[in-house]
Structure 1
Amino acid sequence: MEQPAVALDLLIETSWEVCNKIGGIYTVLSTKADTLHELYKDKVIFIGPDVWSEQNPSPYFIENPSVLKGWASTVSLPHGIKVRTGRWDVPGKPIVILVKFDTMYALNDTLFGEMWQRFGVDSLHAYGDYGEACAFSHAAGIVIESLCSYYKVGPRSHKNVIAHFDEWTTGMGLLYVKWKLPQVATVFTTHATSIGRSICGNGKPLYGQLQNYNGDQMARELNMEAKHSLEKIAAHQADCFTTVSEITAIECEQLLDLRPQVVTPNGFEKNFVPPRSRFKKERQSARKLMLEAASALVGRTLPEHTMIVATSGRCEYRNKGIDMFLDAIAALGVRAPRRETLAFVMVPAWSKAAREDLVKALESDHEGWHRLPDPVMTHTLNNPDSDPIINRIHAIGFTNSADSHVNVIYVPCYLNGTDGIFNAEYYDLLIGMDATVFPSYYEPWGYTPLESIAFGVPTVTTSLSGFGQWILSTTDNQLYSCGVNVIGRGDYNYSEVVDNIARTLADLNECDEEETAKISSAAMHTSSRAAWSYFVAYYIDAFEVALANRNTNRK
């Protein structure tokens, strides 16, 4: 890799998802880490929340007190803040500081008043996770202040230091740095605007009506004032404001009254994909896990050549197109595909535990399998009456009966290796699939389809995702040549998109081994063009903008 255009003395990135796997931002940071470390070595430091305990340690954090020992052994942080130092257990093994911020809650009211006076952040109507996010990011800002003091990053030091903050959840940290450390250049990345996500989540049309929405007004209507205010002001105060796709840049310009200076699309790294020497074996292992769980539920052995399809991601029923996926699978069933089809909805919800009857069935003699009650889910739910996914599965009429040629199974838990049924991580199962579908209505980027093609699994997504827009701008959008099918989706063409997804899956169902191999190879080739080694250049641009703009007055 070539030497970066901008030299940095320190790059500190703060996110709620550092060593804390919740959603797509974890994937952004954990896959980007290797490339950043290659460029800047141990000048890269990630800061995340210490929400762990001895009984429940982070599986992603390797504690090592010798990391940053000179600072950690001498630092005395105020307000009872505690830190642990170590490495993130991902390629590149970057330095991590986990921050224990419990004592900061008591300072929130004072912080809110200070940020109202200095920047106009309106925290008056805050609720839910707002207080937690602000307590953490305030503590992170104090940690950054301490690091800068230790490394002698003063107003006259002429050192290039970047403090990068992800999402509204770290906005208070950015504003603290702007207040206390004007010599530090700040970058703020919104991976999705809080108000845009809320508009879509409340069933309102976003795209055809975007020009008619006022972000502040919608925040008041949807009770999002505090988060929206913090996000908007952090974007305006940052020395460089970025987002992950052009479709979200347009959204930011309308709802946050500011167009990002740089669009920083999300890359991926091949080091998360098994080498070719192990690929076939791991694919077979994944298929066995999924087919056995499904067979134990439906009470019969599903054939090895069953077509396995899935959707996954954040539990946002409409925004992520989970409703559309289920309707498309129902439409596929009407088409009577040649191969049996098994469709998984792998979306973490409010799950209670792995089903005991399913666990027992998997442990028993397979010849004694019988169809389990309600064989459409792997785990029990705490809220089965209000869970939209299981209710839609039942409403459509999926029963996974003996004569069902298309079966649907809901996996409402995090696939982190300890789910009780598969006991495997999501990537360990993804490699065994034949296709994925992510028909999102609101998707600023779309990691799940990119992950899919990186594993050679063809995917279907929509033109409303940032990833889909990237595919449309860089390929011919043909499955055989790029492994992706981007279907045009708008506010009012739901049924048309459902039919197009069903048709695409039916076509894949008919593919022979040679055609399947060709599509898989094309998918992998497309994913290689989204490697961080290419996309990191956009972050270098953002760093240059931030360094050029630091110390300037912004609205």
Structure 2
Amino acid sequence: MNSPVEREKAGKIEIPSNTILFEIAWEVCNQVGGIYTVIRSKVPSVIEKWGDENYFLIGPYFEDQASAHFDPATDYSTPVGKAVLKMQERGFDVHYGQWIVSGRPHVVLFNPYSVFDKLDEIKHFVWQDYHISLPGQDELMDKVAAFGFQVKEFLRYLCSSGFCSSRVVAHFHEWMAGLPIPGLRKENLDIKIVFTTHATLLGRYLAMNDNRFYDHLPFYNWETEANNFNVRPIVEIERASAHGAHVFTTVSELTGRECTHLLGRTPDLILPNGLNIQRFEALHYVQNQHLQFKEKIHDFVRGHFFQSYSFDLDNTLYFFTSGRYEYHNKGYDLTLEALARLNWRMQQSNSKMTVVAFFITRRPFYTFNPDVLHSKALIEDISRVCEEIKEQVGRRLYTKITSQNGQYEFPDLSEMVDDYLRLKLRRNVQSWRTNQLPKIVTHTIVDDTKDEVLNFLRTANLVNNRHDRVKVVYHPDFISTSNPLFKMDYNQFVRGCHLGIFPSMYEPWGYTPLECLASGLPSITSNLAGFGDYVSRNILDGEKLGMYILDRKSRDFNLTADELADIMMQFVQMTRRERIALRYRSEEASLHFDWSNLGRFYDDAYELVLKR
């Protein structure tokens, strides 16, 4: 077969005939993390190539998730549907239907709890056949073991019924789905197996505890480290899945190095993560959406800051960082240090700009900070009174103007407002105003004296002083439409911001800068993130397209903090026209990461596994 480039030039890549593809992942119809985005966003491009009759997804069945994501089937006449009915006859709680996402793929979902009565037997055979000892009293591990057992039994039944006379490719994602792999190999089933690890668990733990993780990578002993972190069963599942697959893949060159040293197998192929990029015919739509959602962020900022002091929102930029709370791995430490340096530089240069930096992550908290909620409620009251006054003045002004006799005179508007509304507005404003500084955190965090973000902000005195040019809002929960502070979803919040900051020290891929790009938002990441490493290897002049890549491979923390502060200062000094032009270029560049382009790497993996 021709090379991928030649096939791409020739047009649509043809999938081999008489071939069925199963993708198995813990996050099918089960939103947990980034793999959910990978699988879900890839579906339309896969179905376009394979057709819905040759492509099936397998995942766990959890009723609370399935109620929102799963549509049960009414037709079980297909071979897979008949196999599901046979499994149900054997007592398995298995569900067949469609995933309610773009493309509506067929899915088979297994309820792990339905075989919990067999857990001792399942674990016994996992130890006897694969020498993996699964712990007791670990709910996640129990669910993974039960799910893996059902998937293996299902695929075994399909092959025994003659289904595997067609060529069957089973693509497993991550260790939570990988446990069936050694069993499929042991029974020598005629199934071609691809396994993708999106991150090694041991690598994540080690990077959190070692500032020179990549330098020390060749010298770790995986057994020693797995025992040290008490994650040996998971690492053994990862290793068994990697070694049992006919084709082993991962998402970036960086994670490939981890696999070589920690899993003992070098990946056959790299499968970069993409997105289903929504392309708009009118480019101005990107800017219009930015303005629309920026106004909602303005509403929050007015309520949060302006009760203490005000600043010019027309000269205010919104920066943000988000993701799992891993202070070192996600580069929150570097971001904070660079923001402190940016604050000093902006003060020294007498900058007229203000930067509001949002930290969006998830931490244990009790509730919203009462003062923050109170301020939000009071400014909404002020807004409602202003609307009442506007309506009253508008009605009376119209009546006054149209009733004038003789020469036109513009009336005194203050006379058109009732004393009641004047007093109501005055009382609301007085209740809202405060001499206290704006809060740096929106929630009451559990044990906030040990929170690393808060401790840095307090130590650096980056606490939203009036003279600070960089203000900080630490929001220890993910943003959604039910959030009373923002009343918007995360994607809308991203579109309303100006710059994303993700200078990760450890990140197998990193969807956040890619999501920024797809929203027409410039972002900063590092060459120690899979996405940043991919950009630095494959895209020329990334900065001109809104993809700023920090060098964290060869520079120390201090130099990298200076580099990050430099980039942010350059962005602050851009004109509005320059920022708009960069936004358009960012949105245009995101097309490179559409699955219609990056899906070819998956095609290469399936081509390779069929040859083997």
TM-score, scaled relative to structure 2: 0.81
Q: Secondary structure at the match of 1:208?
A: helix
- Give the Cα separation in 2 of the matches to 1:413 and 1:385: 18
Establish whether residue 515 from structure 1 lines up as the match of residue 578 from structure 2: yes
| 1:310 alignment partner in structure 2 | 320
Question: Residue 521 of structure 2 is aligned with which of 452, 457, 468?
Answer: 457
Establish whether residue 216 from structure 1 lines up as the match of residue 192 from structure 2: no
Q: Secondary structure at the match of 2:51?
A: helix
CA separation of 1:146 and 1:401: change in aligned 2, threshold 3 A: farther
CA contact (8 A) 1:77 1:146 kept: no
CA contact (8 A) 1:79 1:104 kept: no
Q: Secondary structure at the match of 1:332?
A: helix
Q: Which deviates the most, 38-47 or 271-280?
A: 271-280
Establish whether residue 203 from structure 1 lines up as the match of residue 210 from structure 2: yes
What does 1:134-533 align with in structure 2 at a 5 Å threshold?
A: 134-146=145-157, 152-154=162-164, 157=165, 159-180=166-187, 182-271=189-278, 276=283, 278-298=285-305, 299=307, 300=309, 303-336=313-346, 337-365=351-379, 368=429, 369-370=432-433, 375-479=439-543, 481-490=544-553, 493-533=556-596
User: How far is 1:86 from its partner?
Assistant: 3.5
CA separation of 1:508 and 1:58: change in aligned 2, threshold 3 A: farther
CA contact (8 A) 1:455 1:524 kept: yes
Query: Residues 432-465 of structure 1, C-alpha deviation per residue, up to 9 Å, x if partnerless?
Result: 1111111111111121111111212111111111
Kindly provide the amino acid, as one letter, of the partner of residue 434 in structure 1: H
Q: Which runs of 4+ in 1 moved over 6 A?
A: 272-275
CA contact (8 A) 2:341 2:565 kept: yes
Q: Secondary structure at the match of 1:317?
A: coil
Point out where structure 1 has 5 or more consecutive residues left out of the alignment.
Answer: 550-555
CA contact (8 A) 1:67 1:85 kept: no
User: How far is 1:537 from its partner?
Assistant: 1.2
User: How far is 1:194 from its partner?
Assistant: 1.0
Point out where structure 2 has 5 or more consecutive residues left out of the alignment.
Answer: 1-10, 383-428
Query: Residues 493-548 of structure 1, C-alpha deviation per residue, up to 9 Å, x if partnerless?
Result: 11111111111011001111232123223322332112211211111111122223
CA separation of 1:442 and 1:105: change in aligned 2, threshold 3 A: farther
- Give the Cα separation in 1 of the matches to 2:180 and 2:372: 46
CA contact (8 A) 1:153 1:183 kept: no
Kindly provide the amino acid, as one letter, of the partner of residue 499 in structure 1: D
CA separation of 1:355 and 1:27: change in aligned 2, threshold 3 A: same
- Give the Cα separation in 1 of the matches to 2:206 and 2:75: 43
- Give the Cα separation in 1 of the matches to 2:76 and 2:278: 27
CA separation of 1:239 and 1:104: change in aligned 2, threshold 3 A: same
CA separation of 1:75 and 1:203: change in aligned 2, threshold 3 A: same
Higher helix share: 2
| 2:413 alignment partner in structure 1 | none
User: How far is 1:205 from its partner?
Assistant: 2.3
Q: Secondary structure at the match of 2:37?
A: helix
User: How far is 1:249 from its partner?
Assistant: 1.0
- Give the Cα separation in 2 of the matches to 1:214 and 1:162: 33
Establish whether residue 117 from structure 1 lines up as the match of residue 128 from structure 2: yes
Query: Residues 111-157 of structure 1, C-alpha deviation per residue, up to 9 Å, x if partnerless?
Result: 2331232223243599573333333333333344455567x324xx1
| 1:63 alignment partner in structure 2 | 71
Q: Which deviates the most, 497-506 or 90-99?
A: 90-99
User: How far is 1:356 from its partner?
Assistant: 4.5
Query: Residues 209-247 of structure 1, C-alpha deviation per residue, up to 9 Å, x if partnerless?
Result: 112122222212222211111101110001111000111
- Give the Cα separation in 2 of the matches to 1:78 and 1:222: 42
| 1:553 alignment partner in structure 2 | none
- Give the Cα separation in 1 of the matches to 2:90 and 2:332: 44
Q: Which deviates the most, 454-463 or 394-403?
A: 394-403
User: How far is 1:182 from its partner?
Assistant: 1.3
CA separation of 1:134 and 1:382: change in aligned 2, threshold 3 A: farther
Q: Count matched residues.
A: 541
CA separation of 1:220 and 1:439: change in aligned 2, threshold 3 A: same
- Give the Cα separation in 2 of the matches to 1:429 and 1:534: 27
CA separation of 1:422 and 1:17: change in aligned 2, threshold 3 A: farther
Q: Which deviates the most, 331-340 or 436-445?
A: 331-340
Query: Residues 328-351 of structure 1, C-alpha deviation per residue, up to 9 Å, x if partnerless?
Result: 111111111541001111112224
Kindly provide the amino acid, as one letter, of the partner of residue 90 in structure 1: V
Q: Secondary structure at the match of 1:253?
A: helix
CA contact (8 A) 1:477 1:486 kept: no
- Give the Cα separation in 1 of the matches to 2:109 and 2:485: 31
Establish whether residue 536 from structure 1 lines up as the match of residue 547 from structure 2: no
- Give the Cα separation in 2 of the matches to 1:141 and 1:420: 45
CA contact (8 A) 1:216 1:255 kept: no
| 1:33 alignment partner in structure 2 | 43
- Give the Cα separation in 1 of the matches to 2:22 and 2:118: 24
- Give the Cα separation in 2 of the matches to 1:251 and 1:87: 36
Q: Which deviates the most, 403-412 or 493-502?
A: 403-412
- Give the Cα separation in 1 of the matches to 2:443 and 2:133: 41
CA separation of 1:326 and 1:204: change in aligned 2, threshold 3 A: closer
What does 1:80-95 align with in structure 2 at a 5 Å threshold?
A: 81-95=92-106
Establish whether residue 102 from structure 1 lines up as the match of residue 113 from structure 2: yes
Q: Secondary structure at the match of 1:217?
A: helix
CA contact (8 A) 1:475 1:482 kept: no
Query: Residues 291-330 of structure 1, C-alpha deviation per residue, up to 9 Å, x if partnerless?
Result: 3223322235551441111111222221111121112111
Q: Secondary structure at the match of 2:353?
A: coil
